[in-house]
Homo-oligomer: A and B are copies of this chain.
């Protein structure tokens, strides 16, 4: 147990550091456009901060034999809906590694300093129908929640430089991925609205 003062100092330091990182990312255009508004609001709220976040994306991911992500693992990456010719061109671009097609949901890490504020976040999560995630770090002055969406597609796309499915199937999964991405962004928007109502 640490004292309330120490916990409060710890929270201020951690928040300051994460806000700096976020504003640098915005400046260098490394932040996902769809999540800047939410993160900016939370950076401005006294009792909360965000650390690593992703708004959701469509990717062609390079994987190794263990089927885990590799460093510099993106063959292609879009934080927006994708047109079929873009995907098809990316798939036809030479690749030594195996590729997976993925539509991945948002993942947000939000920090706060007290259990009471963490409970507020759990309530918002529930209210917005965000079912996956929870508190992952529970120290006085440093509580971190991870929240993720549930819209996903994930399937093997290419090995030994050969596309594994037909063009027709590629069109099918891309249509679904775009639809799921739109739903994912809607869920993120709803979460932002609820944060703006409830967090200070």
Q: What's the Cα separation between A152 and B180 when bound, in Å? A: 16
**A166-B165, A169-B164, A180-B67 known; A136-B153 Cβ under 8 A:** no
A119 touches B133 (CB 8 A): no
Copies of this protein, total? 2
**A67-B176, A67-B179 known; A136-B122 Cβ under 8 A:** yes
**A134-B146, A166-B165 known; A154-B156 Cβ under 8 A:** no
Measured between beta carbons, the chain B residues less than 8 angstroms from A122 are 136-138
Within 8 A of B (CB), among A13-34: none
Q: Which residue of B lies closest to A147 (CB)?
A: B134
Q: What's the Cα separation between A133 and B136 when bound, in Å? A: 7
Partner of A172 from B119, B138, B156 at Cβ < 8 Å: B156
Q: Which residue of B lies closest to A115 (CB)?
A: B138
Partner of A145 from B134, B165, B173 at Cβ < 8 Å: B134
Q: Which residue of B lies closest to A155 (CB)?
A: B155
Asked whether A99 is an interface residue with its Cβ less than 8 Å from the other chain, the reply is no
Which A residues are within 8 Å of any B CB, using their own CB? Answer: 67, 115, 118-119, 122, 132-138, 145-146, 148, 152-156, 164-166, 168-169, 172-173, 176, 179-180
Chosen A-B contacts, 28 in total, with CB atoms closer than 8 Å, are A67-B176, A67-B179, A115-B115, A118-B138, A119-B138, A122-B138, A132-B132, A132-B148, A133-B136, A134-B134, A134-B135, A134-B145, A134-B146, A135-B135, A135-B136, A135-B138, A152-B152, A152-B154, A153-B154, A153-B155, A154-B155, A155-B155, A155-B173, A156-B172, A156-B173, A164-B168, A164-B169, A165-B166
